Amino acid sequence: MKKIEMLIECPSCEGTGVYVGMAERAGAAVVCTKCKGTGEYLFTYTYNDFTGRKTREDVQRVYLSGYGYVIAPEVVNYKGAGEIDMSLEGVSYDEFLKGKMPQHIKKLGCPMMADQGACHNIEGFTDRCNSFNDGWLSYIPRCANRPNAATCWKLFEEGK
């Protein structure tokens, strides 16, 4: 195991030694607890050199994401999505080790749950999501258009 240490500007107080947050008002500040008022912070990171990908004996299937749900390589009943045979989703661990990557589990969620950043990069995509939800989609799993998620996936894949 290797260790890197470097003296950096305190990330909490930006090197000032004092912290001003929500409770400090009208010119008040408190001593920064991260650097104890010095403005400096000793950043320490330990790591191992990469010698090749290691394997795990306890993994059967690999998925791109769990989208905030519990996942297991078996039939799982999801509220709002119904039963999904997760042993048919993702890829086997052996396939993954050979370079095959899993795809999104489209039955489990929508593009916004899967890759919100990519959705924001498609002009008008998130505006459409908001329009389905009275102008503001605040909690993606409760989207009013969830029953039509297949349409959203199609538009996402087309970049529309």
Q: Give per-residue pLDDT as tens, 15-38.
A: 999 999 888 999 999 999 999 999
> Does residue 80 share a domain with residue 62?
yes
Q: How far is CA 113 from CA 11, 18, 35, 41, in A?
A: 30, 38, 37, 36
> Does residue 73 share a domain with residue 102?
yes
pLDDT for the residue numbered 7? 97
> Does residue 116 share a domain with residue 102?
no
Query: Of 11, 30, 47, at which residue does a domain stop?
Result: 47
Rounded Cα distance between 101 and 115, Å, is 16
**In degrees rounded to 5, what are phi and psi of residue 76?**
-125, 140
Which token pair is 95? 């396939």
The whole model's pTM is what?
Answer: 0.68
Q: What is the largest CA-CA distance in the chain?
A: 61
pLDDT in tens, 64-120: 988 888 899 999 988 767 888 999 999 999 999 999 999 999 888 889 888 889 999
Looking at the structure of the chain, the number of domains it has is 3
> Does residue 135 share a domain with residue 102?
no
pLDDT in tens, 147-160: 888 999 999 999 98
pLDDT for the residue numbered 136? 79
> Does residue 118 share a domain with residue 91?
no
Q: Which domain does 123 fall in, by range? A: 111-158
> Does residue 103 share a domain with residue 60?
yes
Query: Of 90, 107, 124, at which residue does a domain stop?
Result: 107
Closest CA to 41 of 62, 13, 21: 13
